Amino acid sequence: MTERVQKIYELLKEEYPDVHCELNYQTPLQLLTATVLSAQTTDRQVNRVTEKLFAEHPDLDTLLELSEEELEGYIHSLGFYHTKARNLYRLFRELADRFHGEVPQTMQELTSLPGVGRKTANVVLSNAFGIPAIAVDTHVFRVSNKIGLAHASDVRETEKQLQNALDPEVWSLMHHLLIFHGRRCCSARSPQCERCVIRQYCEYYQKEWENDGETV
């Protein structure tokens, strides 16, 4: 990593020492399920739903007992719950039929499952299995491009540029750090630049604020 990127990483790590995955889970399957549910939904909302779902159906055998309609009953408070229930219903059966009941550990296999894209696969690979990966959600996309860690117009290119900019051993942690920073400081509508710990390294701040006489 360049000196600038290393400094951004260190400052964010110091600012958010308690950084972690904010989805609640105990197994790779539970994380996969929660991440599928998290699309267009907050982690807090997902955790409220999965608390009951996982308590009553903690593993694949018990999840397979649920009909698609019963799944909808658990997750109906979430956005797009019809589609998510249909995807999970099929996903659980494909895990049993194609992967001997185990969550696969490769990008290709994970993204072959219903409702699983690159972001979900990267979350599972990094958090459940410790495999270096950097998932790009809306926060990671926005913050990394605003800071200048990436200069991309789409999620896939952002992921590639972040992989090039960061050492593989920090990919997973940096994913969480960027999410925390996006939620707690660098919001989409009103970024709090005046209290941002990395503002002196941020391209957005340099461009938008220094011209107004702000000091770095």
Rounded to whole angstroms, the Cα distance separating 105 from 31 reads: 13
Rounded to whole angstroms, the Cα distance separating 32 from 113 reads: 11
Whether 119 is a known active-site residue: answer yes
60 with 29: CB under 8 angstroms? yes
* Active-site pick, 7, 13, 61, 119: 119
149 with 162: CB under 8 angstroms? yes
Rounded to whole angstroms, the Cα distance separating 72 from 35 reads: 16
Rounded to whole angstroms, the Cα distance separating 12 from 1 reads: 15
* Active-site pick, 61, 97, 137, 154: 137
Rounded to whole angstroms, the Cα distance separating 89 from 136 reads: 25
- Which residues form the catalytic set? 119, 137
